Structure 1
Amino acid sequence: MNYDAIVVGSGATGGIAAKELTEKGLKVLLLEAGPALDEAIFQRPGLKRQVNTWDRIAAGATGQHTQARCSWFSPDKRELFVNDLQNPYTTSADPFLWIRGRQVGGRFQSWGRVAVRMSDYDFKAASHDGYGDDWPIEYQDLVPYYDSVESFLKITGRKDNIANLPDGQFSNEAGLSSFEQKFQNTVQDKWPERKFTPWRYVATDATRADAEGKTHTTSPIAAAAATDNLTLRPNSVVSKVNIDPATGNASGVTFIDRETKQQHEVRANVVMLCASTIETVRLLLNSGTSTFPQGLANSSGVLGQYFMDQTNGVVFGSVPGATGFELVDGKHPGDNHGGFYIPRFQNLTDSSQYDFIRGFNIQGMVGRIPVPNHIPTLFGLTVQGEMLAAKENRITLNTRKKDAWGIPVANIDIRMGDNERRMAKAQMAAILEMVNTMGWNIEIAASILDIHNRDNLMPNASWFERTMFKLSYQKSLALGSAIHECGGARMGNDPSTSVLNKYNQSWDIPNLFVTDSSCFVSNGAGGPTLTTMALTARAAEFIASEYNGSANLTKAV
């Protein structure tokens, strides 16, 4: 069968791509490298262990030695992480932690569900501070698509009129716990520039059982399936985008059955890559032709370059004199999602106060982590800072090493620069001064740079757990641990310096689109997921408007 469109990857962007294209009448084949997971997996009771050192060691022994470094890894969630022996990668600079999930729904099944908009402080950052390049779009270009995605996903949030964190279309109002409200009052009295808002997050039913109640899916995929225009094929490891030598257009893809390892080719008039940042770049690099020997759609030579993540730090502990937890937005402990969010407050106007450019956000939760009534009330804070786009930070292929399906693996060559190191130092200073002002007990304070409470680290843990944490924290909080990787197939206004145009369309191959976070020009301080979904909806609208039943879309301009 010849499809109108093939979408590679079924996560946040792949689901939105399938939904938007099928609702516009296109016949879509959605390819997912992993299986559809049984609904029963998602009904398991969660394990109530904090550091779970032994669980992580056991996971490493069964092939998840890298994935077990993820902060929220636990055995009851093991199916949401890949097997690292089957899915290896290599690095050639600083350590990089690549957290991956291969299942229908991708990482949309497991992400933190925080969905924040970017603003022109991000899209036009280069115009503000002179570093790098502006995006080929501005905030107003994405507003209708932000609105659409937020309304569909039923975002919970609160309008707070923060200039660099635009308000969205919120279906329900988010709240703060009493502890978080006290935290806000104390912090803003002392540091009024640190604006608080409750988390803006996706409704629980965005991931759900399928129509038959057997497997777990996502609401975008379910909406696409309801059109009868979707064919979903799990266990399909895409190895190559194919090109018609007569036209130079994409003709479809080659994939390998995950279980049988049999190779298949499928055809379509449009190909959308939504496989996640590193996987998409890897796929393009593995799809090189005589016309594009250094990777498909790479006439610019920048494919794989300008790869980014965010600098990460964490502080966990307890609130003296308080026990138990509060229900805030949810009706039961399993749905007590939410927290507080402090968007970037650095370098928005006067940049003379800091020894770095761009900035970081702080977020977390206080008093809503479920614990028995006799257990001290817990808090957890994270801080994530923008990494500057640098040409030398890049994804390449390691042709000497292959995955379980014989496909050359990605090599990640990334390192922090001076700006990232200065920012990471300031991040932890900011988060610790707030926690210390509150008088809270700190059990873990660690960042990509160091452990910041070595003398009182994990006071209630065993010596073995403390030792293991000290030995492993640098890899667990390395670049990649924010799980906000982006760049490598950047958008731009100039085909000589970018891979994609403003509609996420390849400059070189007009029926090839890339809408996951690999398209980012800069990564900002917030999470990229909502923006990638909005970009995908915008690209899908463009495709539908240009589509005439053939592969001959208007060449990118």
Structure 2
Amino acid sequence: MHLNIKVTQQNTYDAIVIGSGISGGWAAKELCEKGLKTLVLERGRNVEHVKDYVTTMLNPWDFKHGLNNTEKDKAEDPIQSTVYDEGSRHFFVRDKENPYIQEKPFSWIRGYQVGGRSLTWGRQCYRLSDLDFEANQKDGHGVDWPIRYKDIAPWYDYVEHFAGISGQAEGLSHLPDGQFLPPMEFNCLEQHFRDQVKKRFDGRCVTMGRVANLTKGWNGRIPCQHRNLCSRGCPYGGYFSSNAATLPAAMATGNFTLRPFSVVSAIIYDKDKKRATGVRVIDAETKEVFEYYARVIFLNASTIGSSLVLLNSTSAAFPDGLGNNNDLVGRHLMDHHFKVGAMADYTGLQDKYYVGRRPTGIYIPRFRNINADTQRKDYIRGFGFQGYGEREAWMDTGLTADGFGKDFKNKLAAPGKWAMWLGAWGETLPYADNRVTLDKIQKDQWGLPLAKISFEIHENEKAMRKDMQHSAAEMLDNSGFTNVTGFDYNYVGGECVHEMGTARMGNDPKTSVLNGQNQLHDVKNVFITDGSCMTSSACQNPSLTYMALTARACDYAVNELKKGNL
């Protein structure tokens, strides 16, 4: 047998990062800045900052279908078309080309390109607290987190300082304050609502959304322009994305290599060394197979994607997938359940309006099951609200209105009534039967087993949803609003695009996949810091926690490399 030693040397790096989204971008930045020659593998196409934001400067009338999805879009992308429009379609996969099996309904929203879903995320950034990190231990659902707030707090500081998070300090122990840029402004109706909730509800707080949109120039990036076109990519770098922030920082080191169109089929394991030696890659376009080698591997392919890589990485030592001898990889899939809340009208403030298209709304932190005074008997854990106040515009009422001429145009140009919308985001418990597995027969276009996803909310979440709707309506009603209407739009798993779990952290290798440093218990040079590492979901938007855990794990990994432990 002849070994091509030269090719092996050319394909060897200090570190490999699988995925270039929010956590993968952070891993690339941290490892490169710490001196490691790092290869980043992305299964989709390259997207270069600014140049490839092809729709970002277009007006609504520049689009062929007026930003509406066609019947063809809906037929070919029944999942992705629920979240994209003509301006962002190119940042989402084609469902027909990327099938999966829904054993129970789950909407798997994906963006296969450099930057991943960091180009289209909602940008809400909230810290978890010990209310969240201690929850599993206290109520017995799931396993105990191997970390506490004190372990991650310095890393929240670190990533916030680089990313640029605008927000308002409120002094809440269960929603810790961060390193904030100045907050965006409430409009007058939101300020009225904030004042009324503070006056009428003990322990409830209405704050401005903490969001990764810049309110001033930051780290070479330009402030948010309040265009609210974030899902098209921001040419100003006004919001945090891998493409605008972490990947340029990685490139600047000279240690960064990017390989797009790289579908990772498996992590290669050496049973004698008890270490991973590299990854096997299928070129997405040519279907050629390559191998790349490194001393440390960061798996950041997103919650479901990372699970699939682990499950497909079989060997004599791990016949059911890398790190999966305890049958836990793929289990405990979580998402935030939402699409429930209330809306209402407001008759005052007719002489007031607002300016711009602010890219965030208000936030009401969790106020249930915080302490003995807020304890519920019908469910555990809790939820938070996001919302906004606005005046109706012509498109809300004028599309079907009758009229003609000057008076009609003046009527359309006049501001409509004030209205408020509140939507709740609730915690989902980690259930073992909510899981991802590999289909044994059906394969994708690269010859890899299709993902099978099974997910449903249970009685705890269903009871919580009743309170989510009631609480929203109650706050609006008691704050002077009229026509208060509750809603529940029958949430389907995955729709929130906050999927988590499937390779959870824990103290015991028998009941978890990763340790407190985000290492695979059984393979110490493989780290996973995307959403799959989450032990519970809390109710806060999770991406900021992925960033902090990634920076923390990279620091640990490099120190371990220097000690010769990896």
TM-score using structure 1 length: 0.85
**Could you tell me which residue of structure 1 aligns to residue 533 of structure 2?**
519
Residue of 198, 209, 212 corresponding to 2:208: 198
Q: 1:370 to 1:101 in 2, by over 3 A?
A: farther
State the one-letter code of the partner of 1:275: A
Q: What is the aligned length?
A: 510
* More displaced stretch, 505-514 vs 375-384: 375-384
Aligned ranges 1:275-294 → 2 under 5 Å = 275-294=301-320
SS in 2 for 1:10: coil
**Could you tell me which residue of structure 2 aligns to residue 90 of structure 1?**
101
Matched, 1:66 2:106: no
Q: 1:493 to 1:435 in 2, by over 3 A?
A: same
Tell me if the contact between 1:18 and 1:224 (Cα under 8 Å) persists in the aligned partners: yes
Q: 1:48 to 1:425 in 2, by over 3 A?
A: farther
**Could you tell me which residue of structure 1 aligns to residue 298 of structure 2?**
272
Q: 1:154 to 1:142 in 2, by over 3 A?
A: same
**Could you tell me which residue of structure 2 aligns to residue 468 of structure 1?**
none
SS in 2 for 1:88: coil
**Could you tell me which residue of structure 2 aligns to residue 43 of structure 1?**
57
Report the alpha carbon displacement of residue 40 of structure 1 after superposing the two structures with TM. 2.1
Report the alpha carbon displacement of residue 139 of structure 1 after superposing the two structures with TM. 0.3
SS in 1 for 2:524: coil
Tell me if the contact between 1:398 and 1:408 (Cα under 8 Å) persists in the aligned partners: yes
State the one-letter code of the partner of 1:528: P
Q: Distance in 1 between matches of 2:360 and 2:513?
A: 37
SS in 2 for 1:188: helix
Report the alpha carbon displacement of residue 375 of structure 1 after superposing the two structures with TM. 4.8
**Could you tell me which residue of structure 2 aligns to residue 483 of structure 1?**
497
* More displaced stretch, 169-178 vs 478-487: 169-178
Tell me if the contact between 1:11 and 1:107 (Cα under 8 Å) persists in the aligned partners: yes
Q: 1:493 to 1:56 in 2, by over 3 A?
A: farther
SS in 2 for 1:75: coil
Q: Distance in 1 between matches of 2:235 and 2:294?
A: 29
Q: Deviations over 1:87-106 (max 9, x none)?
A: 1111223x111111111111
Q: 1:237 to 1:92 in 2, by over 3 A?
A: same
Q: 1:344 to 1:46 in 2, by over 3 A?
A: farther
Q: Distance in 1 between matches of 2:342 and 2:53?
A: 32
Q: Distance in 1 between matches of 2:110 and 2:554?
A: 25
**Could you tell me which residue of structure 1 aligns to residue 361 of structure 2?**
339
Q: Distance in 1 between matches of 2:436 and 2:380?
A: 24
Q: Deviations over 1:358-395 (max 9, x none)?
A: 01110122228987853535544321111111122211
Q: What's the RMSD between the two structures over aligned residues?
A: 2.8
Q: Distance in 2 between matches of 1:535 and 1:277?
A: 14
* More displaced stretch, 116-125 vs 164-173: 164-173
Aligned ranges 1:452-471 → 2 under 5 Å = none
Q: Deviations over 1:187-209 (max 9, x none)?
A: 23332222121111113559655
**Could you tell me which residue of structure 2 aligns to residue 473 of structure 1?**
none
**Could you tell me which residue of structure 1 aligns to residue 398 of structure 2?**
none
SS in 1 for 2:520: coil
**Could you tell me which residue of structure 1 aligns to residue 7 of structure 2?**
none
SS in 1 for 2:87: helix
**Structure 2: gaps (5+ residues):** 1-9, 215-220, 223-232, 396-412
State the one-letter code of the partner of 1:129: D
State the one-letter code of the partner of 2:298: M
Report the alpha carbon displacement of residue 324 of structure 1 after superposing the two structures with TM. 9.1
Residue of 367, 376, 385 corresponding to 1:353: 376
Q: Deviations over 1:19-59 (max 9, x none)?
A: 1111100111111111123132333335899xx99626331
Q: Distance in 2 between matches of 1:126 and 1:401?
A: 36
**Could you tell me which residue of structure 1 aligns to residue 389 of structure 2?**
366
Identity %, equivalent residues: 39
Q: Distance in 2 between matches of 1:209 and 1:83?
A: 25
**Could you tell me which residue of structure 2 aligns to residue 439 of structure 1?**
481
TM-score using structure 2 length: 0.84
Matched, 1:231 2:253: no
Report the alpha carbon displacement of residue 8 of structure 1 after superposing the two structures with TM. 0.6
Tell me if the contact between 1:18 and 1:220 (Cα under 8 Å) persists in the aligned partners: yes
Q: Distance in 1 between matches of 2:352 and 2:71?
A: 30
Q: 1:153 to 1:47 in 2, by over 3 A?
A: farther
Report the alpha carbon displacement of residue 144 of structure 1 after superposing the two structures with TM. 1.1
Residue of 153, 175, 183 corresponding to 2:185: 175
Tell me if the contact between 2:300 and 2:530 (Cα under 8 Å) persists in the aligned partners: yes
**Could you tell me which residue of structure 2 aligns to residue 421 of structure 1?**
462
Matched, 1:396 2:437: yes
Tell me if the contact between 1:347 and 1:354 (Cα under 8 Å) persists in the aligned partners: no
Aligned ranges 1:11-160 → 2 under 5 Å = 11-37=21-47, 38-45=52-59, 55=69, 57-61=71-75, 63-70=76-83, 73-93=84-104, 95-160=105-170
**Could you tell me which residue of structure 2 aligns to residue 501 of structure 1?**
515
**Could you tell me which residue of structure 2 aligns to residue 553 of structure 1?**
565
Report the alpha carbon displacement of residue 444 of structure 1 after superposing the two structures with TM. 8.6
State the one-letter code of the partner of 1:64: D
Tell me if the contact between 1:307 and 1:395 (Cα under 8 Å) persists in the aligned partners: yes
Report the alpha carbon displacement of residue 300 of structure 1 after superposing the two structures with TM. 2.3
Q: 1:368 to 1:339 in 2, by over 3 A?
A: farther
Report the alpha carbon displacement of residue 127 of structure 1 after superposing the two structures with TM. 3.5
State the one-letter code of the partner of 1:358: R
Tell me if the contact between 2:92 and 2:112 (Cα under 8 Å) persists in the aligned partners: yes
Q: Distance in 2 between matches of 1:161 and 1:47?
A: 45
